[in-house]
Amino acid sequence: MSEQRFIYDLSDGDATMRNLLGGKGAGVAEMARVGVPVPDAFTVTTTACVAAMENNGTWPDGLKEQIKEGLVRLEERTGKKLGASQNPLLVSVRSGAVHSMPGMMDTILNLGMSDDSARAMAEETGNARFAWDCYRRFIQMYGEVVEGVPGHAYEDALAQMKSDRGVEQDTDLDADDLKELVATFKEISSEHLGGDWTNDPREQLDRAIDAVFRSWGNPRAEVYRRANNISAKLGTAVNIMQMVFGNGGDTSGTGVCFTRNPSTGEKALYGEFLVNAQGEDVVAGIRTPRPLEEMEEILPEAYHQLVDTMHKMEDHYKDMQDMEFTIENGKLFLLQTRNGKRTAAAALKVASDLVDEGVLDKHQALLRVEPSQLDQLLHPAIDPKHGRRSIAKGLPASPGAAVGEVVFDADTAAERGAKGEPVVLVRFETTPDDIHGIIVAQGILTAHGGMTSHAAVVARGMGKPCVAGAQGIRIDPKGKTLTIGDHVFKEGDTITLDGTTGNVYGEALELVPPQINADFRRMVAWADEVRALGVRANADNFEDATKARELGAEGIGLCRTEHMFMAADRLPAVRKMILADSPEERAAALEEILPMQQSDFEGVFTAMKGLPVTVRLLDPPLHEFLPDLTEQSLKVQKLELEGGDAQELGAARATLAQVRRLHELNPMLGTRGCRLAMLYPEIPEMQTRAIVRAALAVLEREGETAEIEIMIPLVALTEELKVQRGIVEKTMADELKTSGKTLDVTIGTMIELPRAALLADQIAEYADFFSFGTNDLTQTTIGISRDDAENGFLTNYVVDHVLERNPFESIDVEGVGQLVRMGVERGRSRKPKLKTGVCGEHGGDPDSIEFFHSVGLNYVSCSPFRVPIARFAAARAVLNERRN
């Protein structure tokens, strides 16, 4: 068996080899292939990284030798030699995953620097300061990343040097100073390593590659992958590229550019650059860069070459590109190109424009928009009528509005965010170490950094509002204050951010629901032409149903009736019903609730007239309408011990007795759904009556009503559905007879227990439709209580990769999915035209929608604001199916 190949030279790769070479490696190779100037390079494959991970970090056989050979070839091609005292080769060692994970893994620049190389470079470039600066940067970066030396040790030494010299800026240090600093840095490294610092660039290369491999598993990369649903099993490629220098003087520079505006999607070059700087300076947001347009004046030749290259690459990839470049003494090098990260609005505009430009057809355009990303468009904005003055303005780095309490560090943000408290993370600048705080924050405000700074890129990816580089704000993270003009905000004070405009407000402003723009409407219409799945919404009142219809819902897939019981003004009647001693008393209490239910139903049926509405009969256990057992026990004890009012005590004790009687150890598996209706048939009778009366009232008033589907929840046994169907049918017949009207109503059931899926053929006998309740089905199939698990072991499971995704967010296809498939197949084996849908929260998750399409459901139902996402995702499901 021949040895596996782990090394690809620049000329061996192309864009199709992304899985093997990572996005960066494949992108650079493709650029070289089509004649774009890139530094020479070779790539260590992702398979090498995976092999090492699987073997506890031990490299696979042959890797070390192949790297050595790859280096020799690179040296031959460039005519330079790593660590040489003449014409030395310097390389960057960079991660490059299959899916872009900006800033999450490690990079080592200037590898190859040694005493000899530094001297040679000083001589060759005539710029000794530059050479020693590169060297000290290398020692610091290598020490931190590879050897784990604490960064502050180097920073302290640098600060000491500046203080000794009485200067303020790094740039005020001269070549000798930096040479001395190199010696100091070496000592720091040696001290930490407990041995001498020795320059062996060949050895350092291997160790740098290994460090990049290991950085795949660092905590911030894990957090990022989880937030972006990237598998932990992919591994990263490592790119070894000849260094080019943007920091060699005023004819050098570095920058980042997009072929279109990544925030709005507008067709205009968009980017930032810094003269006399290395690439990391732009990305890290330490110096605020200049707009790309200004480069035309400063470096006109490189600018025009860059513009040409940008157009060329966009045409080549038929998608907006995000590129990194360096200009070395006036010569342009492209370091990376990739499909640019963009806001959802930009994604829609770019895809839509590319259709108009004749570059893509409609179906290709649909595949360019990630449905899950559209969520960010569906976030609220600040009410335009607010009339307040902003107190600061920054860059509109990620659109949307956020209201929250100021916090100054990621740990506090994570802690408070986990409790559901709305926080805005305020940082001088963010780093990858802040990721856990960013994930839970409502929004991000930074004082430094541009549109491509860490905070901006990450926030856009998450659809989270971000205002970056806000001028004139002062942050004291230790003292925990944010000062804007004469306002001083302490931790816990509330502010509002507008990531769409860059405005910051010193108070909580009202937010309004998002509006769907023209690009969105246009592309969703294309999606509707393609998709097979129907899309409905979950709603239980007029307002939500109306909103759902506006957003394109083709019906209500789940109209819950429990909220109709929960309203404060209804609880007394509901409790009377629960405390009833006889069916008659219960029926009397239900009579009080009936008109309220009816009026709610009228609202929904009016909003949805002409479309189907699935009404689920009462589902939660009765004790949900009573006080908590512990609370009530404490109340009684308190009254007892304090000798409270006798009447109050009596009432409290009576309530406690009821709470105890109805208390269940595992309410999720208790007396709820149709089990309740079996015990108290008065409840489904009342509900059916309210539904029929509401439908007749709407029909009379509006001339049309909704297509009503009555749904029996939590059926495990065929007999339950048979009995409940009988109750609904009989009540309906009675009501219609009384009214003398007719009404078409279908009766179906939820499939939300494993047994129901297993016996779907029997159950279909009594069901006009099935609606899969995948939340409950997930709970019972995996044996996980959602409420408990998401605050407990489930989170650990996702962190530890016991599970790749939270099964309540995206359906567990291989487990729960089997039962859904079985339910559909068995149900249809009895009733070939059985209508099937899903009404769990998975109905709004794009990956789950793809699965539901594959098993042949008729529709999905989700929250109103996810309807457009579901329409998109349903179309993609069809297109992906065709591709496969």
The residue ranges that bind a second copy (CB under 8 A) are: 629-630, 633-634, 637-638, 641-642, 664-671, 675, 678-679, 714, 716-717, 719-720, 723, 752-755, 758-759, 776, 779-785, 787-789, 792-793, 796-797, 800-803, 812, 814-816, 818-819
Element at 538 (helix H, strand E):
strand 534-538
Whole-angstrom distance, CA of residue 629 vs CA of residue 460: 45
Task: Tell me how far, at minimum, the Cβ of 816 lies from a second copy, in Å.
Answer: 7
Question: What is the C-alpha R_g of the chain?
Answer: 32
Cβ–Cβ under 8 Å, residues 432 and 413:
no
Task: Tell me how far, at minimum, the Cβ of 670 lies from a second copy, in Å.
Answer: 4
Closer residue to a second copy, CB minimum distance, 700 or 788:
788
Closer residue to a second copy, CB minimum distance, 152 or 233:
233
Using CB atoms within 10 A of its CB, is residue 705 exposed (0-12), middle (13-18) or buried (19+)? Answer: buried
Cβ–Cβ under 8 Å, residues 449 and 468:
yes
Q: 839 an active-site residue? A: yes
Whole-angstrom distance, CA of residue 254 vs CA of residue 246: 5
Options 134, 559, 674, 839, the catalytic residue: 839
Task: Tell me how far, at minimum, the Cβ of 399 lies from a second copy, in Å.
Answer: 38
Closer residue to a second copy, CB minimum distance, 66 or 781:
781
Task: Tell me how far, at minimum, the Cβ of 706 lies from a second copy, in Å.
Answer: 30
Closer residue to a second copy, CB minimum distance, 522 or 722:
722
Closer residue to a second copy, CB minimum distance, 581 or 814:
814
616 is in an annotated binding site: yes
Q: Tell me the three state secondary structure of residue 712.
A: strand
Main-chain dihedrals φ then ψ at residue 110, nearest 5 degrees: 65, 25
β-bridge mates for residue 97, sequence order = 236
Task: Tell me how far, at minimum, the Cβ of 684 lies from a second copy, in Å.
Answer: 15
Whole-angstrom distance, CA of residue 217 vs CA of residue 210: 12
Using CB atoms within 10 A of its CB, is residue 166 exposed (0-12), middle (13-18) or buried (19+)? Answer: exposed
Residue 175 makes CB contacts below 8 A (sequence gap 6+) with 122, 128, 129, 131, 132
Of 781, 845, 774, the C-alpha closest to 809 is 845
Of 846, 844, 881, 880, the C-alpha closest to 860 is 844
Question: Distance between alpha carbon 128 and the CA centroid of its chain, in Å?
Answer: 47
CB atoms within 10 A of CB 543: 12
Closer residue to a second copy, CB minimum distance, 272 or 720:
720
Locate 386 and state its tokens. Answer: 């607010």
Whole-angstrom distance, CA of residue 465 vs CA of residue 488: 22
752 is in an annotated binding site: yes
What is the DSSP annotation of 207-257?
HHHHHHHHHTTSHHHHHHHHHHT--TTS-EEEEEEE---S-SSTT-EEEEE
Task: Tell me how far, at minimum, the Cβ of 582 lies from a second copy, in Å.
Answer: 16
Helix 571-579 × helix 583-607 angle, to 10°: 140
β-bridge mates for residue 92, sequence order = 241
775 is in an annotated binding site: yes
Whole-angstrom distance, CA of residue 331 vs CA of residue 760: 69
Closer residue to a second copy, CB minimum distance, 428 or 625:
625
Options 363, 379, 448, 454, the catalytic residue: 454
Closer residue to a second copy, CB minimum distance, 51 or 723:
723
Classify the phi-psi angles of 553: left when phi > 0, otherwise alpha if psi is within -120 to 50, otherwise beta.
Answer: beta
Cβ–Cβ under 8 Å, residues 248 and 51:
no
Task: Tell me how far, at minimum, the Cβ of 824 lies from a second copy, in Å.
Answer: 15
Q: 454 an active-site residue? A: yes
Whole-angstrom distance, CA of residue 532 vs CA of residue 233: 33
Closer residue to a second copy, CB minimum distance, 33 or 675:
675
Task: Tell me how far, at minimum, the Cβ of 561 lies from a second copy, in Å.
Answer: 20
Q: Please give the C-alpha separations between residue 365 and each of 317, 522, 566, 867, in angstroms, as whole numbers.
A: 13, 11, 45, 19
Task: Tell me how far, at minimum, the Cβ of 640 lies from a second copy, in Å.
Answer: 10
Task: Tell me how far, at minimum, the Cβ of 415 lies from a second copy, in Å.
Answer: 15
Closer residue to a second copy, CB minimum distance, 191 or 787:
787
Q: Please give the C-alpha separations between residue 392 and each of 313, 445, 460, 504, 505, in angstroms, as whole numbers.
A: 38, 11, 21, 5, 7
Question: Annotated binding site for Mg(2+), which residues?
Answer: 752, 776
| Residue stretches of the annotated binding site for substrate | 560, 616, 752, 773-776
Going by the annotation, the residues of the binding site are 560, 616, 752, 773-776
The set of catalytic residues is 454, 839
